[in-house]
Amino acid sequence: MAHDHSPKKDSSNNQEDESVVDRRLGVDRRDLEPTSPTNLERRRGPGRRLTDFVKSAEEGEMSREQYTFLLAIDAFKRVNHKTFPSWTDVLEVVRKLGYRKTMVSELNLGGKAQDWTEKPDSISGVNKPSTDAD
């Protein structure tokens, strides 16, 4: 009995998502040019060097900030019995460490998210009880 291994298209959406690349087609996504830089690119090309922030961490010399973050994530995983925290969990830890969105973003997210700022002394908001009725 032969099986059809061709990619299936979603009948509910006739438009293909251009950001998805089917690896079976032999296209290497690393060869694709990004549509717009996000300021998150870490790949080094000719003449590009690691920042001191990244270089020291990769060499095993963490800053006080990096080490505190590592300890906080480790403590979160231990007390919540989670091997792999979700991104929401990571954001919760970051907020509980005292980080707040006080400056305009340095990232280019292509207009997909609205930027904002908050007061440096604002509460974290992660321990607020849910208002949803379960």
Q: Residues 65-89: pLDDT tens digits? A: 989 999 999 999 999 999 999 999 9
Q: Which domain holds residue 86?
A: 49-106
| 124 found inside a domain | no
Token representation of residue 129: 């009880």
Lowest mean pLDDT among 10-19, 93-102, 109-118: 10-19
Q: What are phi and psi of 54, to 5 degrees?
A: -80, -40
| 24 found inside a domain | no
Beta strands in the chain (DSSP E): none
More confident residue, 83 or 62: 83
| 60 found inside a domain | yes
Token representation of residue 79: 């007390």
Quote the number of domains for the chain: 1
Q: Cα separations (Å) of 113 from 85, 110, 117? A: 23, 8, 13
On the question of pLDDT at 134 being above 60, the answer is no
| 38 found inside a domain | no
On the question of pLDDT at 122 being above 60, the answer is yes
CA distance 71 to 89: 14
**Span 30-45, mean pLDDT?**
65
| 79 found inside a domain | yes
Task: Provide the percentage of residues in the chain whose pLDDT is more than 70.
Answer: 59
CA atoms within 13 Å, Cβ hemisphere of 46? 0
The H-or-E segment that residue 76 falls in is helix 64-80
| 97 found inside a domain | yes
| 27 found inside a domain | no
CA-CA-CA-CA torsion sign (125, 129, 94, 38): negative
Is 29 within 8 Å of 21 (Cβ atoms)? Answer: yes
| 129 found inside a domain | no
What is the reported pLDDT for 109? Answer: 87
What is the reported pLDDT for 111? Answer: 84
What is the reported pLDDT for 55? Answer: 73
Token representation of residue 65: 């900030």
